[in-house]
A = this chain, B = another copy of it.
């Protein structure tokens, strides 16, 4: 599991760490939305919502296009896919499919030449 651009993952996961922004992404999954559309359900000022949208943009999670006086946003799924891939690394843990992972990990265990559990006394 090599992280190609940790800073990028930082901003993606951090952007996802807020329910308002996740809700906006879900709205965007249904199609293009304007800033006003995204802000409307968000129990906060337009300016605050605008900054959430900017955070999504900085993380690369959305693209914007200005048409006239309205800014249209749409989902840019690439970074979401990166986050998904990062998490997929752990899939073996929660699905019980540990076989592949185990081989991988035993190698690293051997390299470290350490017994994390077997010999504690």
Q: Which A residues form the contact surface with B (CB < 8 A)?
A: 1, 3, 6-7, 9-14, 16-19, 22, 25-26, 29-33, 37, 67-68, 72, 75, 77-78, 80-81, 83-84, 86-91, 93-94, 101, 105, 108-109, 112, 116-117, 120
Closest B residue, CB atoms, query A61: B90
Contacts of A84 in B (CB 8 A): 84, 87-88, 90-91, 94
Tell me whether chain A's interface is mostly helix, strand or loop, or mixed. Answer: helix
How close is A105's CB to chain B, nearest CB, in angstroms? 4
The 6 closest A-B pairs by CB, nearest first: A14-B17, A77-B93, A81-B94, A13-B17, A31-B116, A6-B19
Q: Are B29 and A93 interface neighbours, CB within 8 A?
A: yes
Q: Give the docked Cα–Cα distance between A112 and B28 (Å).
A: 13
B80 touches A94 (CB 8 A): yes
Most chain-B CB neighbours within 10 Å: which of A75, A105, A116?
A116
Partner of A19, one of B3, B22, B67: B3
Q: Which residue of B lies closest to A96 (CB)?
A: B77
List of B residues within 8 angstroms of A9 by Cβ: 16-17, 19, 22
